[in-house]
Amino acid sequence: MKRKFSIMILSLIITILPSLMARAEDSSNHEARLKMYKDYEVASGVPWYQIAAVDQYERNIHKFREECGNLKYDTISICILNERWSGPENPYYYDSDYYTINLFGGIGKDGDGDGLADINNEEDVLYTMVEYLRSFEEFESAIVAYYQNEQAVMIIEEISSLFEHFDTIVLDKRSLPVSKRYSYSFQDNYGTARSWGGARSHEGIDIFAGYSTPVLSTAYGVVEVMGWNDFGGYRIGIRDIYNTYQYYAHLQGYEGNLKEGDIVEPGQVIGYVGSTGYGKEGTSGKFPPHLHFGLYKYDGRCEWAFNPYPHLRRWEKEKQ
């Protein structure tokens, strides 16, 4: 029964492929990608936003993966390693024969009906990934099994929730993290020395403003972390669809009933400028009021800080 259903799915995929995999001028063509995801949802039953989330996550980490350097597709960015595609014990490293791939426990499948399961064919790759997701009862179980990385699973689920919530993959708008209606100032002090709590470097930019100045989300994202941190005081951590974590610290307080897991958008008030931190919970006033704003990128293996200053200057010039 399962084999018969798979054949039906394959037939439907082949039928819609001419429009399904419409070539875009570049891999960032949102319209072509969204249509592709939604067509695959119709063919497979896997929600489009889950397919899109996996592809987006892979897009985010692709340039950091040397093993994927030779795998380049017109529309998707999914990288399936050869040993997983062909099977770990398969003597044919670049095997494209579905039957021997299956024999050796590989996951590669023929997505365009040409009789080959070709890892260099994006139609085969996307079909393989969708079939992998479909083979599990729950999306979380599928990505846990595939990535075996807690951070990756969390980020993919967050990206999926953002795509589902906004019903689009075009979530590029950005905002300055403080309201322009209030007085503020900042300079490039990223990387300068800090001594409280031990010698360290400053992993962000300090935006000086008066107490209670509204702090805004810079992006469409999911609230990952809220609460007290001895260094940052009351802080918020928000993750966007590009694996970028925005860190807002030294807050006086939070906006309304904001909580971990909430979805926010650019320009939305999430808190207020304060001077909390450098001590146990409730410590305040050890420095002038300001927002510490940091940016961190997750590359599939580790998370690292980068300088927000050029981004802040660009966002400052944009209309809000």
% of the chain at pLDDT higher than 70: 88
CB-hemisphere CA count at 13 Å for 205? 20
Q: Say which residue, 61 or 20, is predicted with more confidence.
A: 61
Report the candidate in 56, 88, 79 with the shortest Cα–Cα distance to residue 242.
Answer: 56
Query: Residue 18 has what pLDDT?
Result: 36
Tokens of 205: 């930019």
Using DSSP's 3-state secondary structure scheme, residue 263 falls into strand
Query: Residue 193 has what pLDDT?
Result: 61
Interatomic CA distance for residues 29 and 78, integer angstroms: 15
Condensed to tens digits (0 to 9), the pLDDT of residues 123-181 reads 999 999 999 999 999 999 999 999 999 999 999 999 999 999 999 999 999 999 999 99
Instruction: List the beta strands (DSSP E) in 69-220.
Output: 184-186, 193-194, 200-201, 205-209, 214-216
Condensed to tens digits (0 to 9), the pLDDT of residues 86-118 reads 999 999 888 999 999 999 999 999 999 999 999
Please compute the mean of the pLDDT values over residues 54-64 and round it to a whole number.
93
pTM of the full structure = 0.87
Any idea what the Cα angle at residue 110 is, between residues 104 and 111, rounded to 5°?
140
Interatomic CA distance for residues 174 and 240, integer angstroms: 11
Instruction: List the beta strands (DSSP E) in 24-149.
Output: none
Interatomic CA distance for residues 272 and 212, integer angstroms: 5
Query: Residue 198 has what pLDDT?
Result: 58
Q: State yes or no: pLDDT of 308 exceeds 90.
A: yes
Burial 215-251 (b: 16+ CB within 10 A, else e): bbbbbbbbbbebeebeebbbbbbbbbbbbbbbbbbbb
Query: In degrees rounded to 5, what are phi and psi of residue 312?
Result: -60, -40
Condensed to tens digits (0 to 9), the pLDDT of residues 186-237 reads 999 887 866 555 556 767 999 999 999 999 999 999 999 999 999 899 999 9
